[in-house]
Amino acid sequence: MNKDRAITVAIIIGLFGGLVGGPITSLAYYDSPAEERFKLFIIPEFIGFICMGLMIYYGKTKKKLKD
């Protein structure tokens, strides 16, 4: 697997794992205290948004390299 594909796969896994997995995990533990559910929700969301930023940055640098 080449480097570009590995980076893309890692970003996509982090993006969907963070932005989709966080709310699902938070809802799965609905009987836990509110603070714990919030942590289960917000930490993956941050990971997802960081991966989204990396995806945007990586896309822009790849575009500049092609030009």
pLDDT digits (tens, 9 = 90+) for 11-61: 888 888 888 888 888 788 888 898 888 888 888 888 888 888 888 888 887
Place of tokens 């991966």: 51
Q: What is the pLDDT of residue 67?
A: 61
Q: Is the pLDDT of residue 1 over 70?
A: no
Contact between residue 44 and residue 22 where contact means Cβ atoms under 8 Å apart? yes
pLDDT band at 64; cut points 50, 70, 90: confident
Alpha helices per DSSP H over the chain: 3-19, 21-28, 34-66
